[in-house]
Amino acid sequence: MAEVIQLPAEARERGGKGAARAMRREGRIPAVIYGDKKDVTMLTMDVRHVAREYNKGAFFSRLFEVVIDGKAERVLPRDLQLHPVTDVPMHADFLRLSKGVKIRINIPVSFTNEEESVGLKRGGILNIVRHEIEFMVPPDSIPEAIVVDMGKWDVGDSIHIEDITLPSDITATIDRNFTIATIASPVVEKEVVEDEDAEGVEGEDGEAVEGEAEGDAEE
């Protein structure tokens, strides 16, 4: 199960562009929590905390607990607006999670034991088709990654979703045995050697034929 990370926040009453600009000047950003058939919660967060978690990667497939006045709400990031130039977070949307309801989420794919892979040892090239896969998952059972053990795979092999052992309570949203990665054959560049002698002979033959043709024409 993925680690649940806490994000401190403060409730806010005012919305609008003016209030948002004032928050950002103070180093905070506006955010909302919605879902689970409850009212939308408006709040503010320290931009440094949000930026730190976003820069760790896989932000939208990680669980968070937003803590407001000592009360924690388990959420999943659904949208993060970034500054078009600096990439600093400007606004965040979080989905409120409820027990017993599966959510649609992209989970990253992780490749392990590459140094033990038969195919990669032979010079094969790992071609990753899917860096992440969409699943339906219970909120409390979101794995950090889908792990692909590369140890047994050889050159020419294709790794499909049915080749991976998945947790029993998650289901891929694509209803077919799709490809996750392949091991391609190594590219071997052949050196082309020009046969200068052959060119010389061909040239001489060409001149001789041309001379014979001219002689025939004079006759």
Q: What is the DSSP secondary structure assignment for residue 50, as one 8-state letter?
A: H
Name the least confident of 9-13, 145-149, 205-209. 205-209
Tens digits of per-residue pLDDT, 139-169? 888 888 999 999 999 999 999 999 999 988 9
Residue type, 5: I
- Neighbour tally for 150: CB within 10 Å: 20
Mean pLDDT over 5-9 rounds to: 94
Looking at the predicted structure, is the pLDDT value of residue 132 above 90?
yes
Is the CATH number of domain 4-96 2.60.40.10? no
Among 107, 114, 122, smallest CA distance to 161 is for 107
Confidence bin at 197 (pLDDT 50/70/90): low
For 48, the 3-state DSSP assignment is helix
Mean pLDDT over 174-201 rounds to: 75
Q: Tell me the domain boundaries of the chain.
A: 4-96, 103-184
Distances (CA, A) of 197 to 74, 115, 120, 204: 78, 47, 42, 11
pLDDT at 213: 47
Q: In what order do the strands lie in the sheet with 125-128?
A: 125-128, 179-184, 158-160
Confidence bin at 2 (pLDDT 50/70/90): low
Mean pLDDT over 118-131 rounds to: 95
Rg (the chain; Cα; Å): 31
What's the CATH architecture for 103-184?
Answer: Beta Complex (2.170)
Q: Which two tokens stand for residue 14?
A: 């005012």
For 18, the 3-state DSSP assignment is helix
